A and B are shown apart, each in its own frame.
Chain A
Amino acid sequence: MSWLADAAVLFRREALRYRRDRAYWIGQIVFPLAVVGIIGFGLNDVITLPTGAEYVGHLATGMLVLVVGSGAVGGGFSLIEDRETGFLRALLVAPVSRAGIVLGKLAARLLASLVLVAVLVLLLSLFTPLRVESLGAVLVSVTGVTAVFVALGVSLASRLRRLESFRLFAALVTVPLYLFSGILYPVSTLPAPMRALAYANPLSYGVDLFRYGFLGVHELPLAVSSAALCGLSVLATGLAVVVFDRSARG
């Protein structure tokens, strides 16, 4: 189980970095508050949702998914940074398991996601109907979405050498995922072909679980969402470890 011990050591390092990254925290907290405060209240009385929830709450949960997801893709971004500073090279010469490196990043990002969600929910609950309705659903959804997006980021970062390419590809992959996941509008009211796309999108299940966790409403069967998200997290993380391991061989 040396990979687990390696992951724990690298988790410490990533956590230290996150703690010091003030820009990350300010950006990730101010952005969703601004979107929900301005757009959410602007549209709240215009849009009626089939779930019966207020639109501002719907948008707030969507923004939570967005910050958790985009933050997690940043886990891959940090791998490119590690390569550029040379840090990764020294790490690869040490007797460290490659899985440990990926899992250390994942674990630290998960902690950052949970702290971020806790702070945001506390602030959002002051002016939106957001509450923790189901802690289980919150934990599963935050963990699942973080894992999938860290894995995506790590896989991209393992294949791409340049920062610019990473940004471009990450946007290319994540923007459609967000658009067809119901973060802005409910999936069930979409026209049939778009709805099919949304159901094929793993993020939709994460979004639905977020919504159940914070608003108590959902559009998809909870068991299906949980199973889909958990299965995908494990699969994506495994794949990321393999892709990273390959890229680390000269």
Chain B
Amino acid sequence: MSSDTAAIEVRGLVKRFGRVEALRGLDLRVPQGVCFGMLGPNGAGKTTSVGILTTLLRPDAGEARLLGRDVVADRSRVRRDVGVVFQESTLDPELTPREHLDLYGRLYRLPERRRRVDAMLDLVGLGDRADECVRGLSGGLKRRLEIARGLLHAPRVLFLDEPTLGLDVAARAAVWRHLRALRDAGDTTLFLTTHSMEEADSLCEEIAIIDGGRRVAGGAPEALKAALGGDVVRLWLERAEGAGERLRQAEGVRAVAVDAGEGGCELRVTVADGPRRLVQLIEAARPFGVREVAMQRPTLEHVFLHHTGHAFEPEAEAR
């Protein structure tokens, strides 16, 4: 198989559950070796997509290929190539971490199983808790065991469905650290679903924004944000006259909105590469009496809003 075969190729994927249409013609292409993020609010179809791509669900229409193989017709082969870290726990509370990994090592018929199990336990920092029943482990440790299980057989594509949902800050940082190391090693394609903008932004080289079972935008997070026009610098000035014209001539400025009020005005300057040009903008505005300055960088939240026309579910974010 050539390396330009996509890790994941999805065309027109449709999945219905009764009357609910979870996926409505989803298209995706994920190159090999990248860390790809599927970003969307709850109910956007993320878990359903992972279900189909990992052979647990059958699509009602459309086509999904993993490393060139059809996930329905060739599912036995696909199962060897994927690892999955599910959103919910998939651990047997009565077994120990070592027993879990040993079980899967046997099912995947791994050579040098014991050595590999030990190495995975060490990798996720479970070495000294390896022989305690899972029942007694904290949420963060359980999640790390799930990741170890997903990685044990060195899958070519690793799916992570909301890998840090419900974790505290420290546990989340630990999971991110593992994922970054994995991403930088570059052997495994990572497919991450998340409703955390921060997670998508800090981990993924490429993302797809999905909403209502469809892909609404995609690309590198930086490019998506840059496509919105750049950073917004807000300047509060003492005098408004001529300030707009002066700033429009500054380098990199794309738009200036002036909001004049009594005894001063507010300027909203859209500029490419804001951090580098901030000083120069302040210099240009100095003759008009600069009172306050603030800069906003566009976030994926803005990207989402721009492409879907509605905000990301605030209640989902708060959970």
Contacts and interface: CB of A to CB of B under 8 A. Distances in A.
Decide whether A and B are members of one complex: yes
Interface of A: 5-6, 9-10, 12-13, 16-17, 20-21, 82, 85-87, 89-96, 249-250
Interface in B33-64: 51-52, 54-58
- Chief secondary structure at chain A's binding surface: helix
Interface of B: 51-52, 54-58, 76, 79-80, 82, 84, 86, 88-95, 99, 103-104, 106-109, 149
A143 to B, nearest CB: 25
B57 A93 contact: no
A6 B86 CA distance: 22
B103 A249 contact: no
Contacts of A12: 103, 106
Given A85-B90, A92-B56, A16 B107 contact: no
Contact of B107 (A9, A21, A86): A9
23 contacts: A9-B103, A9-B107, A12-B106, A13-B103, A17-B92, A21-B94, A82-B92, A85-B90, A85-B92, A86-B86, A86-B88, A86-B91, A87-B92, A90-B86, A90-B149, A93-B56, A93-B82, A93-B84, A94-B104, A94-B108, A250-B52, A250-B56, A250-B58
Contacts, number: 66
A6 B104 CA distance: 10
- Residue picked from A10, A13, A87, A94, most chain B C-beta under 10 Å: A94
A16 B98 CA distance: 13
Nearest to B133: A20
Interface pairs A-B: 7 shortest CB-CB: A250-B57, A90-B90, A86-B90, A95-B79, A9-B106, A87-B92, A93-B84
A93 B99 CA distance: 18
B92 A95 contact: no
A95 B88 contact: no
Contact of B93 (A13, A21, A85, A89): A85
Nearest to A9: B106
Contacts of A5: 109
